[in-house]
């Protein structure tokens, strides 16, 4: 596709001219494109159900103070996305772009300081696989599960894609932030395998890689897409997977597990690229004991895995009875927690399996932590009912890609990433749960990366810095921006200044234009 020319230049210009003429309402502006049937106001019967389906974190849905959008737009075409951007800008409303609705802080469907419109991409989710070229075009409203399912079905199981574990996550946010997953040590992040994209910019133009230029294409791969426009679709490079892979999950008591977790730190990032072993320290309810779980994907057969583990990680005492051989797409089901024998079609379920209010944080670890750090985690687990610490190993392909190859910077020198999660069922538990995870995060400070203490943008955390009025200056945003993007933050701000100098696409942690001074520059 050739974007700068709009998909249909005449049509694009007619939208802009019609919306600029007179003082018509947002709905009237949208009707120029015959989009009114996919425009949902608070009085529409569809509005409440769309609002609920958009949010995978009930923490925001249950809040009486959470703002509601003036309209929800559910486009099925690029032209309707164009219209939503142009009309929202014309009528002084911000836009929020929702794909899977998993944004940890709700920024894909909340806006506290301006009237806003949600562009809900739920119906914009086609996946088209090119078997000969081993690529796929996937629209941003598709979920990771829908992408995996389609690739496996179309290729007969010979192709896969390197992205995340949870099938209900939308690819729009996942890809634009990086996309950590079980094959990243072999094939890199999801964003490392993006080769083209379709983006609607602040002026309503449709751009592809050629017409947006390499700077913007660099920025949307790991820099968070919501700062630069509406990323409508992605072209990704698929990866070949063996007919059978091997998985295992070993659950240990804290007494058994902590010493092995400590040992794992010295091993996991140095293992062959085909082997990914992650750790979950978890407490599943108030009555259950803490569990230490070693989960693994090996891109090969167990007859190859067991001698490798006996040589490199004998302390785990892996046996053939611990291992299961299955197809790659079945391994996706395994990590998601589906029972053996369930149909692959469960991957098409767009709603997360366990929908609970939660708060998350993250860290990167550059040198092995002492056992006392893990014992401290266990001590703190005693205070809450439903808590998780998830550690994903780096190394392999992740070390081979430079920090500035794409906007995602966390590469060589990182042993693993940590995600902290606390969940709760009753609203009254929320405040105490958030205090708890902040205390845990403070406790971990001596053991994790510093200068900066890095974080993963896909585990969005407003505690790192928030701009209440969204008139973020570069210097203020650097407080959290450098944590997410390290040395790439300055380049991201320069790109933002080139493509959206008036800072129209913005939220509490969006990339500011380098020379941005005031919200008075916003496009209205």
Per-residue pLDDT tens for 72-105?
999 999 999 999 999 999 999 999 999 998 999 9
Query: Do both 360 and 418 map to the same domain?
Result: yes
CATH number at residue 42: 3.30.43.10
Q: What is the mean pLDDT of the chain?
A: 90
CB 439 within 8 A of CB 383: no
Find the angle CA(353)-CA(138)-CA(126) to the nearest 5 degrees. Answer: 75
pLDDT value at 516 more than 70: no
Query: Do both 101 and 222 map to the same domain?
Result: no
Q: Which of 482, 356, 377 is nearest to 419 (CA)?
A: 377
Number of structural domains, the chain? 4
Q: Range with the lowest mean pLDDT among 17-31, 327-341, 376-390, 497-511?
A: 17-31
If one counts every other C-beta atom within 10 angstroms of the C-beta of residue 315, the result is 12
Give mean pLDDT, residues 253-280.
97
The sheet that has 357-365: what strands, in order across it?
A: 323-326, 245-252, 291-298, 275-283, 387-393, 416-424, 357-365
Give mean pLDDT, residues 274-283.
98
CB 484 within 8 A of CB 201: no
Cα–Cα distance measured from residue 252 to residue 185, given in angstroms and rounded to the nearest whole number: 25
Query: Do both 292 and 435 map to the same domain?
Result: yes
Residue 88 lies in a domain: yes
Residues 6+ apart with CB under 8 A from 67: 110, 111, 112, 116
Q: Which of 464, 485, 502 is nearest to 228 (CA)?
A: 502
If one counts every other C-beta atom within 10 angstroms of the C-beta of residue 494, the result is 16
Q: Range with the lowest mean pLDDT among 247-261, 330-344, 387-401?
A: 330-344
pLDDT value at 514 more than 90: no
Q: What's the pLDDT score for residue 286?
A: 74
Q: What's the pLDDT score for residue 399?
A: 97
pLDDT value at 2 more than 50: no
Give mean pLDDT, residues 233-257.
97
347 class by beta-carbon count within 10 Å (0-12 exposed, 13-18 middle, 19+ buried) = buried
Q: Which of 429, 456, 483 is the last residue of a domain?
A: 456
Q: Which residue has the higher pLDDT, 34 or 515?
A: 515
Q: What's the pLDDT score for residue 351?
A: 74
Q: Which of 76, 103, 123 is the last residue of a domain?
A: 123
Cα–Cα distance measured from residue 338 to residue 162, given in angstroms and rounded to the nearest whole number: 20
Cα–Cα distance measured from residue 24 to residue 14, given in angstroms and rounded to the nearest whole number: 15
Per-residue pLDDT tens for 309-330?
999 999 999 999 999 999 999 9
Residue 1 lies in a domain: no
Query: Do both 272 and 175 map to the same domain?
Result: no
Q: What's the pLDDT score for residue 470?
A: 52
Q: Give SS3 for 117.
A: strand
pLDDT value at 382 more than 70: yes
Q: What's the pLDDT score for residue 352?
A: 66
- Helix segments in 131-183, DSSP class H: 144-155, 171-177
pLDDT value at 521 more than 60: no
Q: What's the pLDDT score for residue 36?
A: 63
Query: Do both 117 and 134 map to the same domain?
Result: no
For residue 387, how many C-alpha atoms fall within 13 Å in the half-sphere facing its CB? 27
Query: Do both 196 and 287 map to the same domain?
Result: no
Cα–Cα distance measured from residue 271 to residue 104, given in angstroms and rounded to the nearest whole number: 31
Give mean pLDDT, residues 171-182.
98
C-alpha distance across the termini of the chain, in Å: 29
Query: What is the per-residue DSSP string for 24-74?
Result: --HHHHHHTTT-GGGEE-TTSTTHHHHHHHH-S-HHHHT-TTS---SEEE-
Tokens of 396: 């392999």
Residue 351 lies in a domain: no
Query: Do both 397 and 267 map to the same domain?
Result: yes
CATH number at residue 373: 3.40.462.20
The owner of tokens 């990914």 is: 276
Tokens of 328: 């790659």
Give mean pLDDT, residues 161-169.
95
Q: What's the pLDDT score for residue 20?
A: 41
Cα–Cα distance measured from residue 208 to residue 195, given in angstroms and rounded to the nearest whole number: 10
Sign of the alpha-carbon dihedral angle for 487, 493, 494, 498: positive
Query: Do both 186 and 302 map to the same domain?
Result: no
Residues 6+ apart with CB under 8 A from 447: 365, 369, 370, 373
The owner of tokens 């009930």 is: 58
Q: What's the pLDDT score for residue 6?
A: 37
CB 391 within 8 A of CB 292: no
Residues 6+ apart with CB under 8 A from 84: 30, 35, 73, 75, 95, 117, 119, 230
Query: Do both 497 and 481 map to the same domain?
Result: yes
CATH number at residue 149: 3.30.465.10
Q: Range with the lowest mean pLDDT among 262-271, 336-345, 503-512, 513-522?
A: 513-522
CB 198 within 8 A of CB 232: yes
Residue 64 lies in a domain: yes
Query: Do both 256 and 213 map to the same domain?
Result: no
Cα–Cα distance measured from residue 287 to residue 263, given in angstroms and rounded to the nearest whole number: 29
Residue 343 lies in a domain: no
pLDDT value at 125 more than 50: yes
CB 161 within 8 A of CB 238: yes
Q: Give SS3 for 342.
A: coil
Tokens of 387: 């808590």
Query: Do both 154 and 191 map to the same domain?
Result: yes
Residue 344 lies in a domain: no
Per-residue pLDDT tens for 436-487?
999 999 999 999 999 999 999 999 999 998 655 455 577 888 999 999 999 9
Residue 3 lies in a domain: no
Q: Which of 98, 123, 148 is the last residue of a domain?
A: 123
pLDDT value at 517 more than 80: no
Query: Do both 150 and 194 map to the same domain?
Result: yes
Q: Range with the lowest mean pLDDT among 74-83, 231-240, 332-341?
A: 332-341
pLDDT value at 141 more than 50: yes
Q: Give SS3 for 472.
A: coil
Residue 335 lies in a domain: no
Domain hosting 390: range is 245-326+356-456
Residues 6+ apart with CB under 8 A from 22: none
Give mean pLDDT, residues 409-434.
95
């Amino acid at each position: 596709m050739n974007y700068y020319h709009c998909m249909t230049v005449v049509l694009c210009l007619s939208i802009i001219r019609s919306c600029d003429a007179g003082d018509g309402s947002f709905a009237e502006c949208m009707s120029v494109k015959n989009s009114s049937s996919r425009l949902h106001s608070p009085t529409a019967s569809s509005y409440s159900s769309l609002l609920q389906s958009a949010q995978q974190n009930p923490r925001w849905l249950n809040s009486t103070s959470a703002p509601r959008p003036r309209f929800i737009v559910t486009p099925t075409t690029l032209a309707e996305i164009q219209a939503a951007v142009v009309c929202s800008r014309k009528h002084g409303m911000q836009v929020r772009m929702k794909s899977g609705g998993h944004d940890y802080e709700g920024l894909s469907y909340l806006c506290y300081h301006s009237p806003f419109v949600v562009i809900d991409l739920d119906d914009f989710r086609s996946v088209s696989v090119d078997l000969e070229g081993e690529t796929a075009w996937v629209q941003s409203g598709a979920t990771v599960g829908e992408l995996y399912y389609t690739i496996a079905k179309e290729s007969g199981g010979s192709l896969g894609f390197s992205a995340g574990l949870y099938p209900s996550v939308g690819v729009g946010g996942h890809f634009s932030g990086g996309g950590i997953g079980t094959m990243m040590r072999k094939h890199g992040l999801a964003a490392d395998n993006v080769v083209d994209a379709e983006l609607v910019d602040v002026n309503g133009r449709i751009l592809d890689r050629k017409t947006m230029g390499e700077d913007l294409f660099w920025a949307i791969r790991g820099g968070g897409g919501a700062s630069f426009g509406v990323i409508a679709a992605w072209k990704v490079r698929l990866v070949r997977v063996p007919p059978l892979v091997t998985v295992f999950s070993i659950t240990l008591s804290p007494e058994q597990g902590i010493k092995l977790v400590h040992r794992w730190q010295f091993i996991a990032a140095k293992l062959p690229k085909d082997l990914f072993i992650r750790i979950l320290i978890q407490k599943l309810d108030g009555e259950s004991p803490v569990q230490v779980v070693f989960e693994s994907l090996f891109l090969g057969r167990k007859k190859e895995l067991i001698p490798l583990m006996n040589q490199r990680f004998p302390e785990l005492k892996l046996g053939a009875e611990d291992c299961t051989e299955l197809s790659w797409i079945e391994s996706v089901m395994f990590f998601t927690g589906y029972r053996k024998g369930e149909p692959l079609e469960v991957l098409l379920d767009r709603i997360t399996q366990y929908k609970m209010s939660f708060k998350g944080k993250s860290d990167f670890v550059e040198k092995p932590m002492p056992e006392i750090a893990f014992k401290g985690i266990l001590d703190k687990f005693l205070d809450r009912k439903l808590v998780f610490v998830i550690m994903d190993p780096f190394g392999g392909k992740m070390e081979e890609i430079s920090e500035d190859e794409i906007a995602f910077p966390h590469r060589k020198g990182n042993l693993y990433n940590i995600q902290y999660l606390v969940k709760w069922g009753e609203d009254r538990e929320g405040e105490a749960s958030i205090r708890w995870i902040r205390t845990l995060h403070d406790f971990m400070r001596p053991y994790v990366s510093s200068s900066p203490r890095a974080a993963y943008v896909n585990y969005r955390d407003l505690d790192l810095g928030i701009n209440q009025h969204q008139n973020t200056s570069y210097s203020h945003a650097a407080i959290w921006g450098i944590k997410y993007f390290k040395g790439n933050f300055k380049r991201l701000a320069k790109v933002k200044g080139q493509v959206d100098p008036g800072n129209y696409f913005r939220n509490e942690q969006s990339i500011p234009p380098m020379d941005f001074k005031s919200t008075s520059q916003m496009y209205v």
